[in-house]
Structure 1
Amino acid sequence: MALTPEILLAGYAHGVFPMAEHRDDPDIFWVEPKRRGILPLEGFHISRSLARRLRRGDYEVTIDRDFEGVLAGCADRSETWISDEIASAYVTLHRRGFAHSLEIRQDGALTGGVYGVALGAAFFGESMFSRRTDASKIALAFLVDRLREGGFTLFDTQFVTDHLASLGAIEIPRAAYMRRLKQALGREAGFAAPPIPVAQDVIQRNTQIS
Protein backbone atom coordinates (compact mmCIF):
# COMPACT_ATOMS: atom_id res chain seq x y z
CA MET A 1 0.00 0.00 0.00
CA ALA A 2 1.38 3.39 -0.99
CA LEU A 3 2.21 5.87 1.76
CA THR A 4 -0.34 8.57 0.93
CA PRO A 5 -0.82 11.87 2.78
CA GLU A 6 -4.14 10.56 4.07
CA ILE A 7 -2.49 7.46 5.56
CA LEU A 8 0.29 9.57 7.07
CA LEU A 9 -2.12 11.94 8.79
CA ALA A 10 -4.27 9.08 10.04
CA GLY A 11 -1.16 7.45 11.48
CA TYR A 12 -0.15 10.58 13.38
CA ALA A 13 -3.68 11.01 14.69
CA HIS A 14 -3.49 7.46 16.10
CA GLY A 15 -0.07 7.90 17.69
CA VAL A 16 2.14 6.06 15.17
CA PHE A 17 4.70 7.19 12.62
CA PRO A 18 6.45 5.52 9.65
CA MET A 19 10.08 4.48 9.25
CA ALA A 20 12.18 2.39 6.89
CA GLU A 21 15.24 0.27 7.66
CA HIS A 22 17.41 2.21 5.19
CA ARG A 23 17.28 4.63 2.27
CA ASP A 24 16.61 1.97 -0.38
CA ASP A 25 14.24 -0.15 1.69
CA PRO A 26 11.00 -0.75 -0.27
CA ASP A 27 9.13 -1.57 2.95
CA ILE A 28 7.74 0.80 5.57
CA PHE A 29 6.84 -0.07 9.15
CA TRP A 30 4.88 1.89 11.72
CA VAL A 31 6.37 2.73 15.11
CA GLU A 32 4.45 3.08 18.38
CA PRO A 33 6.93 3.63 21.23
CA LYS A 34 5.89 2.45 24.69
CA ARG A 35 7.54 5.59 26.03
CA ARG A 36 7.17 8.65 23.83
CA GLY A 37 9.55 11.56 23.57
CA ILE A 38 8.10 15.04 23.89
CA LEU A 39 9.61 18.46 24.42
CA PRO A 40 7.40 20.45 26.82
CA LEU A 41 7.01 23.87 25.24
CA GLU A 42 7.18 25.54 28.65
CA GLY A 43 10.35 23.64 29.57
CA PHE A 44 12.74 24.27 26.70
CA HIS A 45 16.23 24.77 28.09
CA ILE A 46 18.65 27.27 26.59
CA SER A 47 22.09 27.09 28.16
CA ARG A 48 24.24 30.18 28.55
CA SER A 49 26.45 28.98 25.71
CA LEU A 50 23.46 28.53 23.38
CA ALA A 51 22.11 31.93 24.40
CA ARG A 52 25.44 33.48 23.42
CA ARG A 53 25.34 31.58 20.15
CA LEU A 54 21.84 32.82 19.39
CA ARG A 55 22.84 36.43 20.11
CA ARG A 56 25.70 36.30 17.61
CA GLY A 57 23.14 36.53 14.84
CA ASP A 58 25.41 35.25 12.07
CA TYR A 59 22.57 33.20 10.58
CA GLU A 60 19.23 33.62 8.85
CA VAL A 61 16.05 31.82 9.89
CA THR A 62 13.40 31.02 7.30
CA ILE A 63 10.15 29.07 7.31
CA ASP A 64 9.02 26.67 4.58
CA ARG A 65 11.44 28.18 2.09
CA ASP A 66 13.34 24.96 1.34
CA PHE A 67 11.44 21.97 2.68
CA GLU A 68 13.06 19.56 0.25
CA GLY A 69 16.51 20.89 1.12
CA VAL A 70 15.91 20.26 4.83
CA LEU A 71 14.52 16.81 4.08
CA ALA A 72 17.59 15.99 1.99
CA GLY A 73 19.88 17.29 4.74
CA CYS A 74 18.19 15.06 7.31
CA ALA A 75 18.54 12.02 5.03
CA ASP A 76 22.18 12.77 4.17
CA ARG A 77 23.83 10.35 6.57
CA SER A 78 25.24 6.85 6.32
CA GLU A 79 22.22 5.31 8.02
CA THR A 80 18.79 6.87 7.56
CA TRP A 81 15.19 5.78 8.00
CA ILE A 82 14.08 8.29 5.34
CA SER A 83 13.52 6.14 2.27
CA ASP A 84 12.62 7.56 -1.13
CA GLU A 85 8.96 6.69 -0.61
CA ILE A 86 8.88 8.35 2.79
CA ALA A 87 10.61 11.46 1.43
CA SER A 88 8.15 11.69 -1.45
CA ALA A 89 5.18 11.35 0.90
CA TYR A 90 6.38 14.20 3.11
CA VAL A 91 7.00 16.47 0.13
CA THR A 92 3.39 15.90 -0.90
CA LEU A 93 2.25 16.56 2.66
CA HIS A 94 4.24 19.80 2.63
CA ARG A 95 2.58 20.91 -0.60
CA ARG A 96 -0.78 20.32 1.04
CA GLY A 97 0.16 22.52 3.98
CA PHE A 98 0.64 19.91 6.71
CA ALA A 99 4.41 19.41 6.73
CA HIS A 100 6.71 22.32 7.53
CA SER A 101 10.39 23.16 7.71
CA LEU A 102 12.49 25.71 9.53
CA GLU A 103 15.81 26.49 7.86
CA ILE A 104 19.07 27.96 9.14
CA ARG A 105 21.33 29.64 6.60
CA GLN A 106 24.85 30.89 7.15
CA ASP A 107 26.85 32.71 4.49
CA GLY A 108 24.02 31.97 2.07
CA ALA A 109 24.20 28.19 2.54
CA LEU A 110 21.67 25.88 4.20
CA THR A 111 23.52 24.70 7.29
CA GLY A 112 20.78 23.29 9.47
CA GLY A 113 17.09 22.77 9.85
CA VAL A 114 14.20 20.75 11.18
CA TYR A 115 10.98 19.47 9.64
CA GLY A 116 7.78 17.93 10.92
CA VAL A 117 4.03 17.65 10.62
CA ALA A 118 1.39 19.96 12.11
CA LEU A 119 -2.03 18.58 12.93
CA GLY A 120 -4.38 20.53 15.16
CA ALA A 121 -2.25 21.91 17.99
CA ALA A 122 0.25 19.04 17.76
CA PHE A 123 3.59 19.25 16.00
CA PHE A 124 5.34 15.99 15.21
CA GLY A 125 9.04 16.66 14.83
CA GLU A 126 10.48 14.23 12.31
CA SER A 127 14.17 15.00 11.94
CA MET A 128 16.80 17.73 12.05
CA PHE A 129 20.30 18.17 10.74
CA SER A 130 23.33 20.38 11.19
CA ARG A 131 26.25 21.12 8.90
CA ARG A 132 27.80 23.68 11.25
CA THR A 133 28.22 23.75 15.00
CA ASP A 134 24.95 24.47 16.84
CA ALA A 135 22.89 24.96 13.65
CA SER A 136 20.36 22.33 14.73
CA LYS A 137 20.18 23.81 18.25
CA ILE A 138 19.46 27.24 16.76
CA ALA A 139 16.76 25.69 14.57
CA LEU A 140 15.17 23.96 17.54
CA ALA A 141 15.15 27.13 19.64
CA PHE A 142 13.33 29.05 16.93
CA LEU A 143 10.98 26.13 16.31
CA VAL A 144 9.95 25.89 19.96
CA ASP A 145 9.31 29.64 20.03
CA ARG A 146 7.20 29.37 16.86
CA LEU A 147 5.14 26.54 18.29
CA ARG A 148 4.48 28.42 21.51
CA GLU A 149 3.55 31.63 19.73
CA GLY A 150 1.40 29.72 17.23
CA GLY A 151 -0.72 28.09 19.91
CA PHE A 152 0.64 24.54 19.80
CA THR A 153 0.32 22.43 22.95
CA LEU A 154 2.22 19.26 22.01
CA PHE A 155 5.70 18.93 20.52
CA ASP A 156 6.29 15.26 19.79
CA THR A 157 9.95 14.32 19.35
CA GLN A 158 9.16 10.57 19.06
CA PHE A 159 12.31 9.53 20.94
CA VAL A 160 14.66 11.29 23.38
CA THR A 161 18.33 11.52 22.47
CA ASP A 162 21.03 12.94 24.75
CA HIS A 163 20.97 16.05 22.55
CA LEU A 164 17.22 16.54 23.00
CA ALA A 165 17.37 15.71 26.71
CA SER A 166 19.91 18.50 27.22
CA LEU A 167 17.33 20.89 25.77
CA GLY A 168 14.48 19.72 27.97
CA ALA A 169 12.95 16.71 26.19
CA ILE A 170 11.40 14.01 28.37
CA GLU A 171 9.78 10.60 27.97
CA ILE A 172 6.19 9.87 28.98
CA PRO A 173 4.17 6.63 28.89
CA ARG A 174 2.17 5.94 25.75
CA ALA A 175 -1.16 6.34 27.59
CA ALA A 176 -0.18 9.81 28.81
CA TYR A 177 0.99 10.72 25.31
CA MET A 178 -2.31 9.63 23.79
CA ARG A 179 -4.22 11.81 26.24
CA ARG A 180 -2.12 14.82 25.28
CA LEU A 181 -2.46 13.98 21.61
CA LYS A 182 -6.25 13.78 21.82
CA GLN A 183 -6.40 17.16 23.53
CA ALA A 184 -4.04 18.74 20.98
CA LEU A 185 -5.93 17.37 17.99
CA GLY A 186 -9.09 19.04 19.29
CA ARG A 187 -7.48 22.48 19.18
CA GLU A 188 -6.28 24.81 16.45
CA ALA A 189 -2.81 26.27 16.01
CA GLY A 190 -0.92 28.07 13.26
CA PHE A 191 2.61 27.28 12.13
CA ALA A 192 3.05 29.86 9.38
CA ALA A 193 1.50 32.91 11.03
CA PRO A 194 3.93 34.09 13.74
CA PRO A 195 6.65 36.43 12.45
CA ILE A 196 10.25 35.31 12.84
CA PRO A 197 11.45 36.88 16.10
CA VAL A 198 14.80 38.32 17.05
CA ALA A 199 17.05 36.01 19.05
CA GLN A 200 16.67 37.95 22.30
CA ASP A 201 12.91 37.43 22.25
CA VAL A 202 13.43 33.69 21.72
CA ILE A 203 15.75 33.59 24.74
CA GLN A 204 13.47 35.60 27.00
CA ARG A 205 10.28 33.78 26.10
CA ASN A 206 11.40 30.20 26.17
CA THR A 207 13.68 29.28 28.99
CA GLN A 208 15.36 29.57 32.30
CA ILE A 209 18.97 30.37 31.38
CA SER A 210 21.60 28.41 33.32
Structure 2
Amino acid sequence: MDPDPVRQDAVTWRNRALTLFDRVSMPVAVCDVYGAVLLANPAMAAECGTTPGRLRGRDVLELFRPQEATQVERIAEALRLRHRSRYQVSVCWRAPDGAERYGELTADPVSDSAEDTPALLVMLRVLGERDPAPDEAEPVRVTPVEGRILALLAGGATTARAARETGLTVDGVTYHLRRLSARWGAANRTELVARAYALGVLAAGVWPPAPS
Protein backbone atom coordinates (compact mmCIF):
# COMPACT_ATOMS: atom_id res chain seq x y z
CA MET A 1 0.00 0.00 0.00
CA ASP A 2 1.31 3.44 -0.90
CA PRO A 3 2.08 5.74 2.05
CA ASP A 4 -0.29 8.63 2.80
CA PRO A 5 0.81 11.41 0.39
CA VAL A 6 -0.22 14.16 2.82
CA ARG A 7 1.87 12.62 5.60
CA GLN A 8 4.77 12.12 3.21
CA ASP A 9 4.61 15.78 2.13
CA ALA A 10 4.54 16.89 5.77
CA VAL A 11 7.68 14.87 6.55
CA THR A 12 9.42 16.28 3.47
CA TRP A 13 8.65 19.87 4.39
CA ARG A 14 9.64 19.27 8.03
CA ASN A 15 13.04 17.98 6.93
CA ARG A 16 13.50 20.96 4.62
CA ALA A 17 12.57 23.35 7.43
CA LEU A 18 15.07 21.73 9.80
CA THR A 19 17.81 21.96 7.17
CA LEU A 20 17.06 25.67 6.69
CA PHE A 21 16.91 26.15 10.48
CA ASP A 22 20.42 24.72 10.84
CA ARG A 23 21.85 26.83 8.02
CA VAL A 24 20.45 30.22 9.06
CA SER A 25 23.30 32.47 10.19
CA MET A 26 21.12 34.28 12.76
CA PRO A 27 20.97 32.62 16.20
CA VAL A 28 17.54 30.94 16.44
CA ALA A 29 15.90 28.61 18.96
CA VAL A 30 12.51 27.08 19.63
CA CYS A 31 11.48 27.23 23.30
CA ASP A 32 8.47 26.09 25.28
CA VAL A 33 6.16 28.70 26.80
CA TYR A 34 8.32 28.77 29.97
CA GLY A 35 11.50 29.57 28.03
CA ALA A 36 13.16 26.12 28.09
CA VAL A 37 15.07 25.45 24.85
CA LEU A 38 13.58 22.64 22.75
CA LEU A 39 15.71 23.12 19.64
CA ALA A 40 18.59 25.46 18.77
CA ASN A 41 20.55 26.07 15.60
CA PRO A 42 24.38 26.07 15.47
CA ALA A 43 24.52 29.89 15.41
CA MET A 44 22.61 30.09 18.72
CA ALA A 45 24.80 27.40 20.27
CA ALA A 46 27.94 29.25 19.14
CA GLU A 47 26.85 32.34 21.09
CA CYS A 48 26.83 30.14 24.20
CA GLY A 49 30.08 28.33 23.40
CA THR A 50 28.45 24.91 23.14
CA THR A 51 26.58 22.60 20.76
CA PRO A 52 22.85 22.65 19.90
CA GLY A 53 22.19 19.41 21.77
CA ARG A 54 23.66 20.75 25.00
CA LEU A 55 21.32 23.75 24.94
CA ARG A 56 18.22 21.54 25.09
CA GLY A 57 16.36 22.11 28.35
CA ARG A 58 18.32 25.27 29.27
CA ASP A 59 16.39 28.42 30.22
CA VAL A 60 16.87 31.00 27.45
CA LEU A 61 16.64 33.83 30.02
CA GLU A 62 19.49 32.28 31.98
CA LEU A 63 21.64 32.15 28.84
CA PHE A 64 20.76 35.71 27.85
CA ARG A 65 20.13 37.99 30.84
CA PRO A 66 17.21 40.45 30.50
CA GLN A 67 18.15 44.08 31.07
CA GLU A 68 14.66 45.13 32.16
CA ALA A 69 12.71 42.85 34.49
CA THR A 70 9.45 44.58 33.59
CA GLN A 71 9.80 43.39 29.98
CA VAL A 72 9.84 39.76 31.10
CA GLU A 73 6.92 40.24 33.49
CA ARG A 74 4.77 41.79 30.75
CA ILE A 75 5.58 38.97 28.31
CA ALA A 76 4.83 36.27 30.91
CA GLU A 77 1.46 37.87 31.64
CA ALA A 78 0.64 38.21 27.92
CA LEU A 79 1.45 34.54 27.32
CA ARG A 80 -0.73 33.49 30.25
CA LEU A 81 -3.57 35.41 28.59
CA ARG A 82 -2.76 33.68 25.25
CA HIS A 83 -1.92 36.93 23.49
CA ARG A 84 -0.10 36.27 20.23
CA SER A 85 2.20 39.19 19.55
CA ARG A 86 5.89 39.58 18.81
CA TYR A 87 7.82 40.19 22.02
CA GLN A 88 11.24 41.81 22.35
CA VAL A 89 13.62 41.71 25.32
CA SER A 90 16.90 43.59 25.68
CA VAL A 91 19.55 41.13 26.88
CA CYS A 92 23.26 40.78 27.58
CA TRP A 93 25.46 37.69 27.87
CA ARG A 94 29.05 36.54 28.21
CA ALA A 95 30.47 35.42 24.86
CA PRO A 96 32.81 32.39 24.68
CA ASP A 97 35.78 34.77 24.25
CA GLY A 98 34.92 36.54 27.52
CA ALA A 99 33.48 39.71 26.00
CA GLU A 100 30.21 41.08 27.32
CA ARG A 101 27.71 41.24 24.45
CA TYR A 102 24.36 42.92 24.31
CA GLY A 103 21.46 42.63 21.91
CA GLU A 104 17.79 41.83 21.54
CA LEU A 105 15.77 38.63 21.80
CA THR A 106 12.62 38.48 19.68
CA ALA A 107 10.03 35.83 20.55
CA ASP A 108 7.08 34.87 18.34
CA PRO A 109 4.44 32.45 19.72
CA VAL A 110 3.79 29.63 17.23
CA SER A 111 1.35 26.70 17.29
CA ASP A 112 -0.84 24.67 14.96
CA SER A 113 -4.03 26.31 16.27
CA ALA A 114 -5.11 29.20 18.47
CA GLU A 115 -6.22 26.76 21.18
CA ASP A 116 -2.87 24.97 21.46
CA THR A 117 -0.28 26.08 24.00
CA PRO A 118 2.26 27.92 21.85
CA ALA A 119 5.96 27.34 21.53
CA LEU A 120 8.23 30.37 21.14
CA LEU A 121 10.37 30.97 18.06
CA VAL A 122 13.26 32.97 19.52
CA MET A 123 15.76 34.98 17.45
CA LEU A 124 18.82 36.79 18.78
CA ARG A 125 20.12 40.02 17.27
CA VAL A 126 23.64 40.95 18.40
CA LEU A 127 23.99 44.72 18.72
CA GLY A 128 27.49 45.06 20.15
CA GLU A 129 29.96 44.09 22.85
CA ARG A 130 32.41 45.49 25.35
CA ASP A 131 35.60 43.97 26.68
CA PRO A 132 35.50 43.06 30.37
CA ALA A 133 37.91 44.68 32.80
CA PRO A 134 40.63 42.25 33.97
CA ASP A 135 39.28 42.10 37.53
CA GLU A 136 35.60 42.47 36.64
CA ALA A 137 33.38 40.12 38.62
CA GLU A 138 29.95 39.08 37.46
CA PRO A 139 27.43 40.77 39.79
CA VAL A 140 24.61 38.79 41.32
CA ARG A 141 21.40 40.08 39.75
CA VAL A 142 17.84 39.41 40.87
CA THR A 143 14.73 41.33 39.96
CA PRO A 144 12.77 43.17 42.68
CA VAL A 145 10.06 40.50 42.42
CA GLU A 146 12.63 37.70 42.85
CA GLY A 147 14.15 39.48 45.85
CA ARG A 148 10.72 39.84 47.45
CA ILE A 149 9.90 36.15 46.86
CA LEU A 150 13.21 35.06 48.41
CA ALA A 151 12.61 37.29 51.45
CA LEU A 152 9.13 35.83 51.93
CA LEU A 153 10.48 32.26 51.69
CA ALA A 154 13.21 33.08 54.19
CA GLY A 155 10.47 34.21 56.57
CA GLY A 156 8.64 30.90 56.22
CA ALA A 157 6.03 31.85 53.63
CA THR A 158 4.39 29.20 51.49
CA THR A 159 4.19 29.51 47.71
CA ALA A 160 0.53 30.50 48.03
CA ARG A 161 1.31 33.28 50.51
CA ALA A 162 4.23 34.52 48.37
CA ALA A 163 1.82 34.69 45.43
CA ARG A 164 -0.66 36.77 47.45
CA GLU A 165 2.03 39.12 48.76
CA THR A 166 3.58 39.75 45.34
CA GLY A 167 0.40 39.82 43.27
CA LEU A 168 1.53 36.84 41.20
CA THR A 169 -0.14 33.51 40.59
CA VAL A 170 1.18 30.38 42.30
CA ASP A 171 2.55 29.31 38.91
CA GLY A 172 4.26 32.69 38.56
CA VAL A 173 6.06 32.28 41.92
CA THR A 174 7.04 28.71 41.01
CA TYR A 175 8.44 29.97 37.69
CA HIS A 176 10.71 32.50 39.45
CA LEU A 177 11.86 29.90 41.99
CA ARG A 178 12.67 27.44 39.20
CA ARG A 179 14.77 30.06 37.42
CA LEU A 180 16.66 31.01 40.61
CA SER A 181 17.28 27.35 41.52
CA ALA A 182 18.68 26.65 38.04
CA ARG A 183 20.84 29.79 38.15
CA TRP A 184 22.41 28.99 41.53
CA GLY A 185 22.31 25.19 41.36
CA ALA A 186 20.09 24.96 44.44
CA ALA A 187 18.57 21.52 45.09
CA ASN A 188 15.68 22.77 47.26
CA ARG A 189 14.18 25.92 48.75
CA THR A 190 16.24 25.75 51.95
CA GLU A 191 19.42 25.77 49.88
CA LEU A 192 18.00 28.52 47.66
CA VAL A 193 17.46 30.81 50.67
CA ALA A 194 20.91 29.94 52.05
CA ARG A 195 22.53 30.86 48.74
CA ALA A 196 20.56 34.12 48.64
CA TYR A 197 22.11 35.08 51.98
CA ALA A 198 25.59 33.89 50.95
CA LEU A 199 25.43 35.93 47.73
CA GLY A 200 24.26 39.06 49.53
CA VAL A 201 20.86 39.06 47.86
CA LEU A 202 19.14 39.00 51.27
CA ALA A 203 20.26 41.39 54.01
CA ALA A 204 22.11 39.70 56.89
CA GLY A 205 20.98 40.27 60.49
CA VAL A 206 17.56 41.63 59.53
CA TRP A 207 14.14 40.34 60.59
CA PRO A 208 11.76 39.99 58.92
CA PRO A 209 13.99 38.99 55.99
CA ALA A 210 14.43 41.65 53.32
CA PRO A 211 16.37 42.06 50.07
CA SER A 212 19.71 43.79 50.54
Query: Into which bin does the TM-score normalised by the smaller protein fall?
Result: under 0.3
Structure 1 or 2, whichever has the larger Rg, is 2
The TM-score normalised by the length of structure 2 is 0.27
More strand by share: 1
The TM-score normalised by the length of structure 1 is 0.27
